[in-house]
Amino acid sequence: MEAKAREEVLRMEARTKQLIEAEREHFLSQLSQLIPNFDPSMLKPRISESPKNPMSDKASCSGGAIFFKNPLSLCGNDTLPEDKTLQFTIDKEVFGRERDTFLLPEDITQLAGMEEIGATVVAVYMRYLHDVLKQANMCSVVGFIDPATVSANSGTIADRSRLVAARLQKTDGEQIFMMPYNPGRHWILLIVRAKRETVYFLDSLPGNRVVDEEAKNIVNSAIKIYNSHIARAGRKAVIWKTLSGTPMQPSSVECGYYVMRFMRDIIMDPSLAFEKNYAKGNQEAPYPQEAIDEVRNEWAEFVCQIIEHLIFMYNVQILSIIYNVKIC
């Protein structure tokens, strides 16, 4: 019986690897057709090995795992459907509270086609950047605020202010927080430095140098709540600084990609000299497309790793239950 069970385990492991390869090839094929500079070879898996868990200790902060709720939505008995949806939870370490996320087919299509992107795509990339911060031992100096909970039409100004304040309160004050914000079909980036009562405003749209009033009210109220929490009187008014030396997007659809690239560039600089780097007159030319594609490739690779791990672990769990065999 033990030998038969082991034979079945090996058979199912082989089938799992086939499923992983088929899913990756389908995903990479879509991206290759739509992203001009996408290089599928950089994402080729080592199918002879068990897929690496992208949420392993080497890749993420403790407790920052992503757990998929419905693995059957990924694959049927023999084929992988076109309309699959990835549902997962981002742990509270990333945004200060758990975030249930649904990655839809249109999210992938929008990113692959350089179309306008929504909060889910941005949040998934922020989850990836959280891993980068972990590897650089920078989780204590840079944090993220969930764009889906603070952008327009996601609640009252008071509710959103309380959410931002709650995030700020979970730090000693020295940490900066990156807050992508969408007032309506346009992405900007706010960097909140609560202890200094200072907010930095980055906007890649040429000529758009006015901070959205709703965003301003949300953050101002959040800092006021934060000051009350730490028993500080605070300034009469929060300091807002416009960093006008950012690269400028060439058309109306790139703002989300530019915000993701801004966040990447900021955390890749250990000195966090973003105020100096984006000072007026520094670099107002658009990013080269290769710089935007680098972000898209990183996003795609991260999602590929998640898909690999999901399919593999689901099959391992099923085998363990059926045959009561421990599989390493």
State which CATH number among 3.40.395.10, 2.40.50.100, 3.30.70.260, 1.10.10.10 fits the domain covering 126-286.
Answer: 3.40.395.10
- What tokens does 211 get? 């901070």
Q: What are 208-261's pLDDT values in tens digits?
A: 778 999 999 999 999 999 999 888 998 889 999 999 999 999 999 999 999 999
Q: What are 60-76's pLDDT values in tens digits?
A: 333 333 333 333 233 33
* pLDDT score, position 27: 64
Place of tokens 């959103």: 160
* pLDDT score, position 176: 95
* pLDDT score, position 3: 65
- CA 310, 105, 125, 198 torsion: positive or negative? negative
* pLDDT score, position 5: 57
Low-confidence ranges of the chain (pLDDT < 50): 42-81, 325, 327-328
In whole angstroms, what is the distance from residue 240 CA to residue 198 CA?
6
pTM of the model: 0.76
Dihedral (Cα; 32, 35, 38, 248), 10-degree rounding: -170
* pLDDT score, position 86: 81
Domain borders along the chain are 126-286
* pLDDT score, position 294: 95
* pLDDT score, position 174: 81
